[in-house]
Structure formats: structure tokens, C-alpha cells
Structure 1
Amino acid sequence: MNDQALLFEIDNGVATLTLNRPESKNAMNMPMRAALRDAIYSIRLNRSVHAVILRGAGTAFCSGGDVRGMTVQSAEEGRNRIDDLHSWISQLVDLDRPTIAAVDGVAYGAGFSLALAADLVIASSRARFCMPFMKLGLIPDCAAFYTLPRAVGLARAKELIFTAREVSADEARDMGAVLEVVEPETLHTRAASIARALADASPVAFGLSKRALNMSLGSDLRTMLELESVTQAVAFTTDFHREAVRRFRDKETPLFTWPAA
């Protein structure tokens, strides 16, 4: 797949989705949304993909929705527009493979939300994050009501949404929305290094862990303990676990190692 608004490539088990409208700071228009939907559906069905990177072309991640295309005439049309987003953003949030957002420049509005839909956000030192919806008389979308409070806490999420203020990469990291801040010239190398490492992790253990984490804040202790018991039983039976134990006993190189920064 190679759409004008989205570049999609797979290399050695790592899929890279590049938002490709640099002239508009990768504002998300309808063709880009359709391409993202198709790409994410394709990845879900392709078990040879073990990790995903989200990035933007040029010096921006995504400036949000394309305001010039926001010509909604009725509540029904507006709801359908957002429901179309939900059809694929939920698939991304729940994807049982690791996803890394490599954020350079602006991540505004839906761009901030898209980054938060990833498991990990790596930002360049010049990245800037903002939920500007209040300025347009709108509410956050692309699952931000789910992802933002989980990343930064409820009080901080309220502040970011109500004030519509911009935060730097360092402040976003201190809040918990960003994992690492790196220099712009090393951003994509670092994101690729993390994706490659996670692609080598146990796909079963990763998928089960991600599912449990996504459920944890909406579940009680008994539910999570039962989920832990059932999923660990599955993980014990995997070839990855058996090989990892053998390597540990024989003092051999581990199957999975987090890459040093």
C-alpha cells in the first residue's frame, strides 16, 4: 500500500506508517483517515508484522484534523464522521503488537490523540503537544478521553483539555505522555531500535500484557487476578518461554533485551 496521504512499508517485521502531508504539517484529511484505516486493518491480519511505528513526514508529526475539511452540517453527519474514526482508532489502541509513535514537531489535536493511541511515545526535543479543541468549540477525539487520563492522570488531562495550552516535549515526558525525549536527528533511529527490540519479544506475552493493562483501570482486583492466572497459564506453554528459560540456565544471550538509549 502506498497512498499519497500515507506511506506504509514493512521491513523485517516492523511496519512504518508515515503521515505524508508535510505541506500541511500532516493534517489528517479524509484520504489520510481512510488510508490509516486500511493500513491498521491490514496489520491486524498480517501476523508477520511484529511492531508498528507511527511517524510524520517532514518536521511535524500531525497538526490535527484538517480544519478546512470540517464542513459538518448536522449532528448526524458529525457523529458519523467520528464513528468512522472509531472504527480504526480502537483497533490501533487494542492492537496486540507494540506500537511506537515517533513525534517530531507538532502533535496537535487528533495528532496528539493519535500519538497517545500508541503504546510508547518517543519525542524529539522540538516536539510540541496540544489539545486545542476548546478553541474550536469541539471536544477531543481519536480516543483521547480514554488514552489521555491513563497517560497523565485525570486532573492533568482536564487541565490540558480545558486550557488548550501547548506543552513541550520535556513537560509531556514529565507528565507521563512521553517515554523519552531525544534530539531530532536521532528520533527515528531510536524509535526503530525500540520497535525492533519489541518485535523480538514474545508476541503472546506482549499481547496478553497489553490486553490486561488496557483493562486494568476499569476492573476490580478479583477480575485482574483471574486474568493474570489465565493468561500466565497460556504464557507458560509458549516456545518463547521455554527457550528463554533454557538461555537463562545456560547463561546465553537473552531473547529479549531493551535497547540502551
Structure 2
Amino acid sequence: MSMIRVDTPAPHVRRLLINRPAKRNAIDYDVRQSMIDALREVAEDSDCRAIVLGGVEGVFSAGGDVPSMAGLDEAGARARMQHIHQLCRLVSGSKVPVVSAVEGFCAGAAVGLALLGDHIVVGKGSKILFPFMRLGLVPDWGTLRTLPERVGVATAKRIMTSGKIIGDAEALAIGLADSDGGEDIMAAAVAQAATMAELPGEAFYRLKQRLMHPSASFDEEWQREEDDQACLLLGDDFREGFAAFNDKRDPDFTQPLPAERADGGGR
């Protein structure tokens, strides 16, 4: 059985579902490696412009597979974290938008995985939990960076040490989640991914990198602005955006620019 189920629920959208229902989609080595392989494959797919992460049978994931963590020596513990970080880098560094569909239960490592994406959808039945303290561990998967960036340090500290389940309403109120999927979280996540798939790809990726790695000074920021715009103003997406502006229509960044419109002129 494949640990990651991949399909195309909407044009230009690839959905990666953790497929380990007997363990509530808990994440072990095989799940991680299967997701690494799947993400590398979709990264090479020119038709893929957005990704949805989720789990089968209405459960995102119970988090890290706890029994697989026991009995490790230091080398094994470090190897485990290095493998996790391979996956983290692929998600956080994705050139296309990543939407996390937090259906049902989402705990520990799974929350960290969801936070590495660009948009989190919750809804009725979403239950988010940080169990690290009960295990004598600190949060991993980048959570000690991604969570405070979303909710602030004080709130992050509170929810990571309280051991309490966070429901959809609280997740939305504190900024842990971005949108309410209501009764059908997955459908909402796919719709969000389809919308984000229409964004200009290179501009989105540069925006994402700038937000993830803030400039240390205004001088550095202005230099980065210059570098980005000097590239983007010469690109096909700006030509399409400019043509759409002149034509008084919505731009379509999902299709190659026709040769007759390469100069930015109208139809």
C-alpha cells in the first residue's frame, strides 16, 4: 500500500494524502520517505501549480509515530531528525503554493507539517494538539519558528505547554488557521489551492522567500526589491498582467503567453 496517495482534484492542483488509516495517518519513516518522493515528483510536473496536503478518511494525522521514536541512540535520533528536515525543506521551499487541509485530528508533527505550508484550512471537527511536553520533547518540524510567526510568542508558548486541544474557532481566532472550511474542509482546501494555482508563479515564490527570510535592513530590502522587479518586469507573467490590464480583463498566468501578445499588446 502506498503511504501517500496522489491525485488531481482540480486543474493544476496535486493532492498528497497520508494513507495510513489504521494508525490514524501517523507519520513514520515510510510515510516521510513516500511524501519526499511524491513532492519531488510533483516539483518536476510543469502542470502542477498548487499542492494540497491532507490525510485519508477525514483525518490529517495523529502526528509522529511514537513507538518508532523509542530505543534510538544519538546517531539514530540525529538521523531521524535529518530525514524529517529533508521533508520540511521540500514543503517550506515549495515553488508552488501549499494548502494544508486540517481535517479531524492533527497533532504534533502533523501540525508542524501543516504550518510549513502557505495556507491552513480548518472546519467543523478540526482538533489541533501539541503533545510534545507530555513526551518530554520540544516541538520539531520547524514549529518553534512557524507557530510564533503566526500567533505570537506568548500565545505559542501557551498552546504548546497547555496540552489542550485547539478547535477550529480558536485556531481561526488566534491566526493558527487561515480559513474556515465548514462541513467540508477538503473541498474548501482544494478550492483554495485552485485559486492560488492562478497566481503568477515566479512572483509568488519570490514573495514567499522574502516573507520567510526578512531583510536585516531597509538597504537590503531595497536591493532585493530591485533584483526581484528587474527579473519580473522582463518575464512572461508581467507581459500577461500588462496585457490583461490593457484589455480590462483578469490575467491568466496558467497558460503560455501567445506569441502575438509577447509585446504586451491586446488580443
What TM-score do you get using the length of structure 2 for normalisation?
0.88
Provide the residue aligned with 1:250 in structure 2: 247
Provide the residue aligned with 1:259 in structure 2: none
Whole-angstrom distance in 1 between the partners of 2:95 and 2:144: 21
Whole-angstrom distance in 1 between the partners of 2:158 and 2:131: 12
1:62-81 deviations in Å (ceiling 9; x for gaps) = 11011122223322211111
1:157-177 deviations in Å (ceiling 9; x for gaps) = 112222232211111111111
Provide the residue aligned with 2:123 in structure 1: 124
* Residues 3-12 or 116-125, more deviating: 3-12
Provide the residue aligned with 1:209 in structure 2: 207
Seq. identity, %: 27
Whole-angstrom distance in 2 between the partners of 1:254 and 1:166: 42
Deviation at 1:104, TM superposition (A): 0.7
1:129-175 deviations in Å (ceiling 9; x for gaps) = 11110001111111112211111112211122222322111111111
Structure 2: segments with no counterpart, 5+ residues: 254-267
Provide the residue aligned with 2:149 in structure 1: 150
Provide the residue aligned with 1:182 in structure 2: 181
Provide the residue aligned with 1:196 in structure 2: 194
- Alignment RMSD: 1.7
Provide the residue aligned with 1:219 in structure 2: 216
Asked if the contact 1:5/1:19 (under 8 Å) is kept, the reply is: yes
Structure 1: segments with no counterpart, 5+ residues: 257-261
Amino acid at match of 2:238: H
Amino acid at match of 1:247: A
Provide the residue aligned with 2:3 in structure 1: 5
Whole-angstrom distance in 1 between the partners of 2:27 and 2:145: 20
Asked if the contact 1:51/1:198 (under 8 Å) is kept, the reply is: yes
Whole-angstrom distance in 2 between the partners of 1:4 and 1:39: 11
What TM-score do you get using the length of structure 1 for normalisation?
0.90
Q: Over alpha carbons, which structure has the higher Rg?
A: 2
Whole-angstrom distance in 2 between the partners of 1:229 and 1:164: 46
- Counting matched residue pairs gives 252
Amino acid at match of 2:17: T
Amino acid at match of 1:129: I
What does residue range 53-72 of structure 1 map to in structure 2 within 5 Å?
Answer: 53-72=52-71
Provide the residue aligned with 1:241 in structure 2: 238
Whole-angstrom distance in 2 between the partners of 1:84 and 1:127: 28
Deviation at 1:224, TM superposition (A): 2.1
* Residue aligned with 2:120, SS: strand
Are the structure 2 counterparts of residues 155 and 220 from structure 1 closer, same or farther at C-alpha, using a change threshold of 3 Å? farther
Provide the residue aligned with 1:232 in structure 2: 229
Deviation at 1:10, TM superposition (A): 4.1
* Residue aligned with 1:58, SS: helix
1:14-51 deviations in Å (ceiling 9; x for gaps) = 11100111222211122111101111222333333211
Whole-angstrom distance in 2 between the partners of 1:63 and 1:189: 21
Amino acid at match of 1:181: D
Whole-angstrom distance in 2 between the partners of 1:92 and 1:253: 29
* Residue aligned with 2:17, SS: strand
What does residue range 15-54 of structure 1 map to in structure 2 within 5 Å?
Answer: 15-54=14-53
* Residue aligned with 1:149, SS: helix
